[in-house]
């Protein structure tokens, strides 16, 4: 079964029994030098991130995904942002303050990305992360939010 065909099958089946194996394969592909393999793995991750039963496994890839946010390829970055957005759709998803801070810091440079889709996804993800953190009563991000608002304002004003 090829990887592209496997992702089509993933959309139709309960992933609980296969998720560890699939996530291990995806994790290896994320580290690949090949752009095509990384994009394919990320497309699979976008599909998987819609399934709440796989959320814990995807959370284990958070650090790798945040490192890939620095990629110059707009498609790669947009796919990663989509994975994070899908993960946060389930409001029960827990996000620690250190992870939220790290993600917020990684998102700020994307507000000015050349790719408008990446800009919009990064702004939406930033908003969702801040709302989730504030909903949980975590105030340590207050200073970072303030620092991010000015670049965000300029980005929105330019649009």
Give me the pLDDT at residue 1, please: 42
Most confident of 1-5, 8-12, 69-73: 69-73
- Whether 49 shows a pLDDT value over 50: the answer reads yes
Going by C-beta distance under 8 Å and a sequence separation of 6 or more, which residues neighbour residue 31?
64
Q: Which residue has the higher pLDDT, 129 or 119?
A: 119
Share of the chain above pLDDT 90, in %: 16
> What is the average pLDDT score of the chain?
77
Inter-residue contact 42 to 76 (CB < 8 Å) = yes
Task: Report how far residue 121's alpha carbon sits from residue 40's, in angstroms, rounded to the nearest whole number.
Answer: 19
Give me the pLDDT at residue 131, please: 78
Prediction pTM value: 0.76
Q: Which residue has the higher pLDDT, 23 or 84?
A: 84
pLDDT tier, 75 (very low <50, low <70, confident <90, very high otherwise): very high
Greatest distance between any 2 Cα atoms in the chain: 49
Domains in the chain, start-ordered, CATH in brackets? 20-156 (1.25.10.10)
Q: What is the DSSP string of 32-59?
A: -S-HHHHHHHHHHHHHHTT-GGGHHHHH
38-76 in b/e form (b: 16+ CB < 10 A) is bbbbbbbbbbbbbbeebbebbeebbeebbebbeeeebbb
């Amino acid at each position: 079964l090829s990887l592209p065909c496997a992702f089509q099958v993933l959309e139709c089946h309960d992933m609980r029994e296969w998720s560890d194996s699939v996530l291990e394969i995806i994790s290896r592909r994320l580290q690949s030098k090949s752009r095509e393999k990384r994009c394919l793995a990320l497309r699979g991750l976008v599909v998987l991130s819609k399934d709440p039963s796989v959320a814990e496994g995807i959370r284990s890839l958070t650090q790798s995904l945040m490192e890939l946010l620095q990629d110059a390829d707009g498609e790669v970055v947009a796919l990663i942002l989509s994975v994070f957005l899908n993960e946060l759709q389930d409001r029960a998803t827990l996000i620690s303050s250190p992870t939220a801070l790290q993600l917020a810091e990684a998102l700020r440079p994307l507000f000015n990305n050349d790719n408008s889709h990446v800009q919009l996804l990064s702004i939406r993800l930033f908003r969702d992360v801040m709302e989730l953190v504030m909903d949980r009563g975590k105030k340590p991000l207050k200073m970072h939010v303030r620092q991010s608002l000015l670049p965000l304002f300029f980005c929105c004003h330019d649009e």
